[in-house]
Amino acid sequence: MRWMTTDLFVQSLTSGLTQGCIYALIGLGFTIIFNVTGIINFAQGEFVMLGGMLSYFLTRSAGLPVVPALLLSVLVAALVGAALYLLTIRTARRASVVSLIIITIGAAIFIRGIAGEIWGINPVSPPPFTGKHPLHVLGATILPQALWIIGITLAAAVVLHLLFSHTIIGKALRACSMNRSAASLVGIDPKTMALIAFALAAALGALGGAVVAPLSFMSYGAGVGLGLKGFVAASMGGFRSQTAVIVGGIVLGVVEQVTIAIGWGPFKSDYKEAIALVLLLLILLVRSRKLSEEERVS
């Protein structure tokens, strides 16, 4: 491979892994809301932005240390998610799913506008959790913050798994995602579950935002692009399986960076998103063929 040194390849893998974890966290948020309510929440990207902006505000302006700022940002974002559900989705609950999805788009625009008014247009970055000194691993340069991103994503995945399989609330959420009417028949209130889903998804998004902002400078408009990437990650997971979403997010991140590293023919930085989306289409095609084959067999 004349056009890519091993060092460059390893660098693209580590950068891709870091980016991919963020996409995975956002994708998990999409998946949770979709599973429990059947709605695709296009304001998911804005929760990521809020996480980043709030953690910046709390650490730089209010002078809080990193951990309280992180927890507070996630908490506030969860409250915003809950408010979003209560004020819009719950209020318009008799509307069709498509209308509700459009409402989330409107909410996203609203949140973005408010953020722009409060914090201005300039990108900002909160301080990194444990400093800026880069580490050299297998020929690639990785910042400590990137390790935090990967670690926190894994931790979040484990916590979610435990939540869904070992707690009552988690099982209730899963029940709702399987069959909403059956769940309400056994005493689970789908409205409460939806509220929890929104708050949880917002918290996940904000966590991603707060942990990536020290690396990548968040601004009021950053939610659009990130939300889109998270949506792709969620699609790769079929909006169902959490493991698939995480893998999908990481694959998306890595494919983007490797495309840049190849830098030959159509595999250039300009087309990195297109390459990743083509890959997504292929995966979805293969999956739908497998599903229809299974149907034929049964």
Partner 1 sequence: MRKWSCLLLAMLILAAAIPLAGCGSESKTTSGEPYKIGALFSNTGFNAPLGQPEVQTVEMMEERINKDGGINGHPVDIIWYDTGSDPAVCYDMAQKLITEDKVVAIIGPTGSGDTFKIFDLVKNSGIPLISCAAGTAITIPTATDDKRWVFQSPQTTLMIVDRLFEYLKTQNITSIALITDTAGFGADGLKTIKAEAAPDKYNLTITSAQTYDTDDSDMKTQLGKIRDSNPQAVICWGTNPGPAVIATNMSDLEMRNIPLFCSHGIAFKAFIDLAKEDANGVIFPCGKLPIVDYLPKKSDQRELLLEYRKNFEAKYGKGEANTFGGHAYDALTMVTAALENAVTETPEEMASSNDTLQAVRAKIRDYVEQKINSTGYPKTDGFVGTAGIFNMSATNHNGLANDCIVMIKIADQKWTPAE
Residues that bind partner 1 (CB under 8 A): 5, 7-8, 11-12, 15, 18-19, 91-92, 94-95, 103, 106, 110, 116, 121-125, 132, 134, 141, 143, 212, 215-217, 219, 221-222, 225-226, 257, 260-261, 263, 268-270, 273
The contacts of residue 232 (CB under 8 Å, 6+ apart) are 23, 27, 248, 252, 276, 277, 280
Q: Least distance (Å) from partner 1 to the CB of residue 94?
A: 5
Q: Least distance (Å) from partner 1 to the CB of residue 191?
A: 16
CA triple 189-192-195, angle to 5 deg? 150
Compare residues 38 and 221 and give the one whose CB is closer to partner 1.
Answer: 221
Helices (DSSP H) in the chain: which residue ranges? 6-37, 44-56, 66-84, 97-119, 144-166, 168-178, 180-185, 190-216, 222-236, 242-262, 272-297
Compare residues 174 and 268 and give the one whose CB is closer to partner 1.
Answer: 268
Compare residues 55 and 257 and give the one whose CB is closer to partner 1.
Answer: 257
Compare residues 143 and 280 and give the one whose CB is closer to partner 1.
Answer: 143
Q: Least distance (Å) from partner 1 to the CB of residue 132?
A: 8
Q: Least distance (Å) from partner 1 to the CB of residue 84?
A: 14
d(CA 85, CA 282): 34
Amino acid occupying residue 279: L
d(CA 172, CA 164): 8
Compare residues 8 and 199 and give the one whose CB is closer to partner 1.
Answer: 8
d(CA 239, CA 45): 16
Q: Least distance (Å) from partner 1 to the CB of residue 26?
A: 13
Compare residues 123 and 238 and give the one whose CB is closer to partner 1.
Answer: 123
Alpha-carbon separation of residue 108 from 53, 88, 122 (angstroms) = 15, 12, 19
Q: Least distance (Å) from partner 1 to the CB of residue 258?
A: 8
